[in-house]
Every structure is written in C-alpha cells, then in structure tokens.
C-alpha cells in the first residue's frame, strides 16, 4: 500500500509543477494577444492553476499518509521545512494569480504589465515548488 501512495504522491507532485512550465509561453501569448483571443488564453491559465490546486490537495493528503506510514517523524527538518514552504506557497498562490487574471477583464487593463506580473509570479511559484521538491527528494538534515 505504501508504494501505491508513494506513486500517487509523485504523480501529484508532477501535476503540481508541470503545468506551470507550460504556462510560461502562454504568458507571452497573453502579452501579445488581441481582445478576442485573450479571454480564451486567460481561461486556459485559470484552468491550469485549478489543476495544480487539485493536484496539490492529493499531494498533501498522500504526503500526510506517507509520513504517517513511513519511518520519518513529523519533526524531521525536511518535513518541517516542506510544510513551511508549502503554507507560504498556498498564501502566495492565492494572491499571485486570481487577482491578476481578473484584471485582464477590465477595459483599461495594461495587458503587457499584467502579463509580466503573471510571468514573475510563475517563476516565484516554480522556485517554491522546486524547493519543496528538493526537501522531499534529498531529505536534508538541516539541524539535529
């Protein structure tokens, strides 16, 4: 059973990170798009973030099960740091994308500036996710 949960955890980690790399070229298209295609591109971006959010739910649930069933105590440094970064990323995700995506619907919106904001937020979020991935894969002993 542990192996099945581990597989689900790894799959959900890939689904939590992967779509963001696809969104980087999409942001460039958003920056240069006309008003007709903009709503479709923004909807695609919103759908991808929704997929990541749901994959994150599976990631957290399977992570809890893995720690509960596995050999690591909850006070392991890599688990505590993963949780700290995860909680930070949840707040960042809530504020980074939805408010910016809503602004694209405003008639006076600066499409290029909003696209740049999305791109910067994407890279910050990718770095947070990769940091968590490093904690989970390497399991560093940061303190004793």
Residue 71 carries which DSSP code? S
- Residue 135, both tokens: 């904690």
Task: Give the tens place of pLDDT for each residue, 1-48.
Answer: 999 999 999 999 999 999 998 999 999 999 999 888 999 999 999 999
Residue 20 carries which DSSP code? H
Predicted structure pTM score: 0.88
């Amino acid at each position: 059973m542990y192996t099945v949960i581990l597989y689900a955890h790894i799959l959900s980690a890939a689904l939590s990170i992967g779509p963001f790399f696809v969104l980087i070229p999409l942001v460039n298209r958003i920056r240069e798009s006309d008003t007709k295609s903009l709503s479709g591109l923004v909807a695609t971006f919103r759908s991808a973030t929704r997929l990541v959010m749901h994959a994150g739910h599976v990631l957290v649930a399977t992570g809890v099960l893995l720690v509960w069933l596995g050999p690591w105590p909850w006070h392991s440094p890599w688990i505590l740091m993963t949780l700290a970064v995860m909680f930070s990323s949840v707040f960042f995700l809530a504020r980074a994308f939805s408010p910016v995506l809503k602004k694209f619907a405003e008639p006076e919106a600066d499409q290029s500036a909003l696209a740049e904001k999305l791109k910067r937020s994407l890279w910050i979020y990718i770095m947070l996710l990769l940091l968590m991935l490093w904690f989970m894969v390497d399991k560093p002993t940061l303190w004793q």
